Structure 1
Amino acid sequence: MRINPAIVFTLILLSLMFGAGIVSASWGYALGRTALTGVRQPDSRPFSDLPVQRGESHRHNIVILKEEDILSDVKARIEGDLQ
């Protein structure tokens, strides 16, 4: 019984693609891991000066601006009237 060369060639290419995928994935993982060394999550929240305890609810004072005021401010900045 003779082995079909097309099937052998297909299996060789499939194994090479699988190997290249594994090498690429491991290299990308290692590259990303070294890129993120020294990066940590912040210790506090950006909206509060005090550390947050679990279970506490916080209310933030949110100021809602009018769209007309925002657009007039942007237009003034574009025209150079306001720095």
Structure 2
Amino acid sequence: MPLIIVSVIVVFVIKRLEFKYKRGTLGKKNSKSAQQLLDSLIPLGMLVGSSSGVFISLFFQISLLSAMTVGPGLGMLLGYIAYEIYSKTEEVSS
């Protein structure tokens, strides 16, 4: 069951990014550092999700395999949500 949930999340995120790419509405930032941060939000979310899955499996009675499946999937979803929010914010020019 965790694999099915994560599969649905991954397909949703990939299809949404593909749709935004075809429409030309992917998030773009003017500065290189802001663009790099924007591009790394989804992988960072997956890293945070996998590490939190390991910690959760240490303290609760959840198998490590389930936690390592669900953690990165939820991290990918949260990274995508952060990507959407950050891509809509305007840069402050200094």
Give the helix-richer structure, 1 or 2: 2
**Higher RCO by CA contacts (8 Å cutoff, separation 6 or greater):** 2
Per the shorter chain, which TM-score range?
Answer: 0.3 to 0.5
TM-score after normalising by structure 2: 0.30
With normalisation by structure 1, the TM-score equals 0.34
Bigger-Rg structure (1/2): 1
